[in-house]
Amino acid sequence: MSTLATHDRFGIFGGRYVPETLIPALEALDQALTQALADPAFRSEIDDLLGTYVGRPSPLSTAPRLSALAGAPVYLKREDLNHTGAHKINNTVGQAVLARRMGKRRIIAETGAGQHGVATATICARFGLQCVVYMGTEDMRRQELNVYRMRLMGATVTPVDSGTRTLKDATTEAIRDWVTNVNDSHYIIGSVVGPAPYPRMVREFQSVIGREARRQILERAGRLPHTVVACVGGGSNAIGIFSGFVDDRAVELIGVEAGGEGLDTDRHAASLTRGTPGVLHGSLSYLLQDAAGQVHPAHSISAGLDYPGVGPEHAYLKDSGRATYVAVSDAEALAAFELLSRSEGIIPALETAHAVAWVAAQAGRWQADQPVLLCVSGRGDKDVGQVSALGLGAGEAAGGVGRAGAAGAAPVGETSRR
C-alpha cells in the first residue's frame, strides 16, 4: 500500500492529512519534485532565475551598532534585498518552475503579510501563469500596499472573511480551491507547512539561504557562527538558514516566535513555545488549540507570524533539542523595528524585527569572538503604514538621536558605535 516514505515525516511530525481528492495530486507532485531535483536542467533554470531575476546571492552585512549592543559580531543575511523584498521569492521561483514542468497553468497561493502573495504574483507575471491569491480581510487591511502590488502584477486577490480573517483562514480557503481545481492548478504554499511533500520541498527551495550564508560567514568571520537566529511563523526563512548549519552540531539554532501580547495571555502566535501537537492544514505539528482540539486563533502584530501552526520540521527540531525556540512580544518587536532602522539603516519586516529584538536583548550571552548570524527575512516597507498608524517609530526624528522605541530593547547610544 502507498504508505508515506519516512522522508515525509520529521520524527513523528508531518504527514499527509488531507481529503482523499488531493492524494493523487500530492503523489504526482512528489514524483515530479524527485525527478526535477535529479535533473541538472531544473537546477540550472532555478539558479539562473535566482541570479539574474531575484538578485542572489544576497549579501551578508555586518551590523556594527547592533553588534555593540549584543556584545558579539552580528552578521545580517540580507533576504530583504531580494527582488520583492523578502525570502519568499526563493520558494515561489522553485515551485513555479516545477509547476510549469508539470503543465499547470493556474497557480493558487495563500498569503498573510502579503510577501508570499507578492512573490507568487511576481513569478506568475514573469511566466505568464494565472494567479489567484487568498488573503484574510484583516491582513488586507494591515497590508494594503501588498494587495495593490499583487493586483498590479495581474493576480486576483480573493478576500477571505471567515474565521480570524488571517493567514490560517486564507490557507484553508486556498486548500479548498485546490481540492476544486486540482487537475489544472498548482498550489504554491508559502511556508514549510502543509501536507508532504510541501515542507520538504519548501525547505529545498529555501535552503539557498543557508548554503550562501554558511559560505559567506566562513569567508568573512573565518569560522562558523556561534548562533543562528531567525523568526518563525510557519518557519520557512528559519528552515532555510538553519539547513546550512543543522549538521554543524556546535552551531546553536534559535527560532523566535511571535509572543504577541504575552505568552501568558491568549493573544500570541507561539505555537512551539506554548502549543501542543495537533493536525492542521495537512500535517501534524505543534498547534495552538484548546482541549477539544479546536484551533485557537493566533495573534501577532506581524501578519506573517500570525499563524496558529508551524512547520513540522520545526516541531522535530524542538523535540530533538537541535533548535531552541523563544518568543518576543509585539512591543519588543516594534522597538526592534525602530532599533534596526536607526542603528543600521535597515528597516526590517515586523517578522524579522522579532529576531532582531531577541538578539538585541542578549547582551552578555556571547563572547566578543562568537559570531551571530541573523536572518533578515524581509524588508519593512510594507509595515511602515501600520507602524506609523500606531504612532510609533518616528519619535525624536528631528533630533536625529536613536532611541529604543516602545519597549524592551535597550537604547542605542554613542557608546555602541565602533
Catalytic residues: 88, 110, 377
Is 160 a binding residue for another protein by CB under 8 A? The answer is no
* Number of neighbours of residue 21 by Cβ within 10 angstroms: 11
Is 179 a binding residue for another protein by CB under 8 A? The answer is yes
- Looking at 21-29, 46-54, 85-93, 404-412, which segment touches another protein (CB under 8 A)? 21-29
Place of cell 534585498: 81
Is 16 a binding residue for another protein by CB under 8 A? The answer is yes
Is 3 a binding residue for another protein by CB under 8 A? The answer is yes
* Number of neighbours of residue 211 by Cβ within 10 angstroms: 14
According to CB under 8 A, which residues from 270 to 299 bind another protein? 278-282, 287, 289, 291-295
Is 117 a binding residue for another protein by CB under 8 A? The answer is no
Binding mask 235-274 for another protein (x = CB under 8 A): ----------------------------------------
CB–CB of 335/408 below 8 Å? yes
Is 103 a binding residue for another protein by CB under 8 A? The answer is no
Is 127 a binding residue for another protein by CB under 8 A? The answer is no
Q: Where are the alpha helices (DSSP H) in 64-166?
A: 64-70, 88-101, 115-127, 137-142, 144-152
> What single-letter amino acid sits at 295?
V
Instruction: Establish whether the linkage from the previous residue to 225 is cis, with ω within 30° of 0.
Output: no
CA torsion 144-145-148-149 (nearest 10°) is: -140
Is 20 a binding residue for another protein by CB under 8 A? The answer is yes
Residue closer to another protein (CB basis): 280 or 334: 280
Residue closer to another protein (CB basis): 194 or 405: 194
Strand partners, 279: 284
- Looking at 145-153, 174-182, 264-272, 398-406, which segment touches another protein (CB under 8 A)? 174-182
Secondary structure (H, E, C), 258-283:
EEECCCCCCCCCCHHHHCEEEEECCE
Interface residues toward another protein, by CB under 8 A: 1-4, 15-25, 162-163, 168, 172, 175-176, 179-183, 278-282, 287, 289, 291-295
